[in-house]
Amino acid sequence: MNVADLTHSGLKQWILDFAELTTPEEIVIADGSAAQYDELVAQQIAGGYCVPLNPEKRPGSIAYNSDPSDVARVENRTYIAAQNKEAAGPTNNWIDPVVLKETMTGLYRGCMKGRTLYVIPFSMGPVGSPIAKIGVELTDSAYVVINMMIMTRVGAKVLEVLGTDGEYVPCYHSVGKPLAGGESDNGQWPCAPIEQKYISHFPETREIWSYGSGYGGNALLGKKCLALRIASVLAHDEGWLAEHMLILKITSPEGKSKFVAGAFPSACGKTNLAMLVPTIPGWKVETVGDDIAWMKYGSDGQLYAINPEAGFFGVAPGTSNDSNYNAMVSASKNSIFTNCALTEDNDVWWEGIGYDAPGKLIDWHGNEWVQDKGNKEQKPAAHPNARFTAPAAQCPSIASEWEDPKGVPISAILFGGRRAHTVPLVHQSYDWNHGVFLGSIVGSEITAAALDLKVGTIRRDPFAMLPFCGYNMGDYFQHWINVGKAATDESKLPKIFYVNWFRKTEDGKWLWPGFGENSRVLKWVFEACDGTAKSVDTPIGIMPTADAIDLPEGVSEEDMRELLSVDVDGWLREVEDVRTNHYPKFGDHLPKELSSFLDQLEAKLKAAQ
């Protein structure tokens, strides 16, 4: 298909206008076909941008290395360019949209000279779903095209749904004018210097402009940019929820199933939970999505969720058969690896894969690397944010409903963070608004890996949405309250829980084994949704009784009492931190209900002293 064949006149003119600005050599429309995917991969291999992996070990798979300056999301170069700074809110970077567009137009001018302009029509969610949204990305990166073909639904069917005048989110992207050294430096994709990188969102006009980066979250514009930052604005205006949440299906031994959504900041086991293998006999967990959930009310008054993505863009280091068997199988074929190490027989390897490096490797910088366990200063062979892009359909735990266009009914929502102390293994909110309060105070303790912050302090990441909310986060809290008010039957609202897999003893040992054993907590959540769970009211919420959760091996009754206790002094410190350091950021935009819950929590804790 050529641009001239497009029936959507607005779309056609938009593409031609951008081509006139960027001056590409040719324009190619992504049709989503296997033939086009294979052709683009062959071109990338021939150009030295990626290498084919061992067809016996990783059939249909390739590996890329990026420029060392282009390995992760660049939050300090990510902007919510709302019409005024207050609309963007205190947790987002803001630039006047007129000024920003002028700057970026200058950067885009002529930036695709000698390159191909790819047009990617894509659907976030099953094509034609009433919950799905359509975007069109214009890019000069074949890496982006093939990743988007895995991560979203791309091609002719999307254009059919778009029709002659349908709405779409316009997404501009370019890797930018390359650094000195040419288009390809040691097989790495080109990118602009950091001061020219912009990942920009224009909430009022529903536009995404990205320049200077080829990395996933900055360049695959269906991912965080559309699915969360712009979708959260659409959700606010249209009365639904666009969330940084996994979706899983849990089925009891009696064959009864429930769907659970969950929001967790990074490094808190989100993907592992989405693909969990239960340790309790007879229970089954299946995957609907590992990262994003869009939820709307159905005609029956219940919230239904879709996973708007079609693939997994997972962190490779730390992923192993022990930590996440289903992710390993998902990425065993037809996958794209970025910034992993290469073995001598052209397989990939990374730290935490579950076995030692098999001899001499080529690290993600392109240098020879031999594992030296005695050298604590040795740099990792794979970048800590190395990624795999794998089709969701290849996941052995994928649920049969994962592409249901009407979505799946959500019974429970989990919030969680990484907390060594204070926050118990699990507690439930008293009602929807109390659940919003719990989501608003989510945080994780700073580890030694974050050298710019004091170890042990709490980094708040409400709803795990801090980097991804496309408008003022105080208004986002209010939107959650409003969604609850819009329920036609409050009894059908999902129950809300706060979980914490990361409790430690005073001497630093884990109190809870995590991973598959988290199914024991899911079982209690399942029972709580059914009204059959053993529970007790506490100052912080509804908690399991000491004997309500089946003990895993190695966890004593004393450990469980500690995991399910209310640390009154710790929670009073939590109240003080939220009151002093967290809530004041939102000023007049903080819903009064949340301040009231904080006051109530403090009063209940003091009464319990």
Q: Is residue 54 part of a domain?
A: no
Tell me: do 519 and 601 sit in the same domain.
yes
Rounded Cα–Cα distance for residues 411 and 526 (Å): 8
The residues, ordered by sequence, that sit 6+ positions from 94 with a Cβ below 8 Å of its Cβ are 79, 80, 81, 82, 85, 88
Tell me: do 24 and 167 sit in the same domain.
yes
- Whether residue 291 is annotated as binding a ligand: the answer is yes
**Tell me, what CATH number does 335's domain have?**
2.170.8.10
| pLDDT tops 60 at residue 121 | yes
Q: Is residue 291 part of a domain?
A: yes
Rounded Cα–Cα distance for residues 417 and 451 (Å): 19
Mean predicted confidence (pLDDT) in 159-185: 81
| pLDDT tops 70 at residue 180 | no
- Whether residue 516 is annotated as binding a ligand: the answer is yes
Tell me: do 181 and 262 sit in the same domain.
no
Per-residue confidence (pLDDT) for residue 177, from 0 to 100: 78
Is there a contact between 238 and 167 (Cβ–Cβ < 8 Å)?
A: no
Per-residue confidence (pLDDT) for residue 448, from 0 to 100: 42
Rounded Cα–Cα distance for residues 292 and 220 (Å): 14
CB half-sphere exposure, 464, CA atoms < 13 A: 26
| Three-state secondary structure call for residue 248 | strand
At 485-496, the pLDDT tens digits run 999 999 999 999
| pLDDT tops 90 at residue 449 | no
Q: Is residue 500 part of a domain?
A: yes
- Whether residue 217 is annotated as binding a ligand: the answer is yes
Domain finish residue from 370, 394, 418: 394
- Whether residue 386 is annotated as binding a ligand: the answer is yes
β-pair partners for 263: 415
Rounded Cα–Cα distance for residues 85 and 572 (Å): 33
- Whether residue 443 is annotated as binding a ligand: the answer is no
- Whether residue 108 is annotated as binding a ligand: the answer is no
Q: Rounded to whole angstroms, what are the CA distances from 233 to 230, 238, 420, 568? A: 5, 9, 34, 38
Tell me: do 258 and 344 sit in the same domain.
no
Pairing of strands 133-139, 169-174: parallel
Rounded Cα–Cα distance for residues 416 and 425 (Å): 10
Rounded Cα–Cα distance for residues 390 and 446 (Å): 30
> 223: closest CA among 383, 78, 417?
78
Is there a contact between 569 and 456 (Cβ–Cβ < 8 Å)?
A: no
The pLDDT-based confidence of 450 (bands split at 50, 70, 90) is: very low
Per-residue confidence (pLDDT) for residue 488, from 0 to 100: 96
Mean predicted confidence (pLDDT) in 506-532: 96
Per-residue confidence (pLDDT) for residue 268, from 0 to 100: 87
Mean predicted confidence (pLDDT) in 529-535: 97
- Whether residue 460 is annotated as binding a ligand: the answer is no
| pLDDT tops 70 at residue 179 | no
**Tell me, what CATH number does 571's domain have?**
3.90.228.20
- Whether residue 271 is annotated as binding a ligand: the answer is yes
Q: Is residue 60 part of a domain?
A: no
Q: At CA 553, angle to CA 550 and CA 554, rounded to 5?
A: 115
Q: Which domain range does residue 364 map to?
A: 312-394
- Whether residue 215 is annotated as binding a ligand: the answer is yes
Tell me: do 458 and 503 sit in the same domain.
yes
| pLDDT tops 70 at residue 178 | no
DSSP 185: B
Check 50, 111, 171, 268 and give the catalytic one: 268
Rounded Cα–Cα distance for residues 521 and 260 (Å): 12
Per-residue confidence (pLDDT) for residue 193, from 0 to 100: 86
CB half-sphere exposure, 546, CA atoms < 13 A: 9
| Three-state secondary structure call for residue 134 | strand
- The answer to whether the predicted template modeling score (pTM) of the entire model surpasses 0.85 is yes
| pLDDT tops 60 at residue 565 | yes
Tell me: do 301 and 352 sit in the same domain.
no
Tell me: do 142 and 161 sit in the same domain.
yes
At 252-274, the pLDDT tens digits run 999 999 999 999 998 788 999 99
Tell me: do 438 and 485 sit in the same domain.
yes
Rounded Cα–Cα distance for residues 110 and 520 (Å): 57
Window from 71-75, 106-110, 497-501, 541-545 with minimum mean pLDDT: 71-75
DSSP per-residue codes, 251-289: E-TTS-EEEEEEE--TTSSHHHHHT----STT-EEEEEE
Q: Is residue 70 part of a domain?
A: no
What separation, in Å, do the N-terminal and C-terminal C-alpha atoms of the chain show? 71
| pLDDT tops 80 at residue 526 | yes
Domain finish residue from 239, 261, 279: 239
The pLDDT-based confidence of 446 (bands split at 50, 70, 90) is: confident
Window from 311-315, 336-340, 410-414, 453-457 with minimum mean pLDDT: 453-457
Tell me: do 494 and 579 sit in the same domain.
yes
What does pLDDT average to over the chain? 94
β-pair partners for 172: 138, 209
**Tell me, what CATH number does 92's domain have?**
3.40.449.10
Tell me: do 345 and 410 sit in the same domain.
no
- Residue 268 designated active-site: yes
Q: Is residue 297 part of a domain?
A: yes
Domain finish residue from 239, 257, 291: 239
Q: For residues 326, 327, 329 and 333, what is the CA-based torsion angle, rounded to 10 degrees?
A: 150
The pLDDT-based confidence of 60 (bands split at 50, 70, 90) is: very high
For 326, the token pair is 């289903």
Per-residue confidence (pLDDT) for residue 266, from 0 to 100: 82
Residue listed under structure tokens 């990617």? 120
Higher model confidence: residue 145 or residue 178? 145
Mean predicted confidence (pLDDT) in 285-304: 97
Rounded Cα–Cα distance for residues 158 and 125 (Å): 11
- Whether residue 65 is annotated as binding a ligand: the answer is no
Tell me: do 566 and 418 sit in the same domain.
yes
Tell me: do 141 and 280 sit in the same domain.
no
Q: Residue 300 CB: number of other CB atoms within 10 A?
A: 10
Q: Is residue 66 part of a domain?
A: no
At 198-243, the pLDDT tens digits run 999 999 999 999 999 999 999 999 999 999 999 999 999 999 999 9
DSSP 230: I
**How many structural domains comprise the chain?**
3
> 283: closest CA among 313, 314, 260?
260
HEC states along 391-447? EHHHCCCECCCCCCCCCEEEEEEEEECCCCCCCCCEEECCCHHHHHHHHHCCEEECC
Q: Is residue 562 part of a domain?
A: yes
Q: pLDDT > 70: what percent of the chain? A: 96
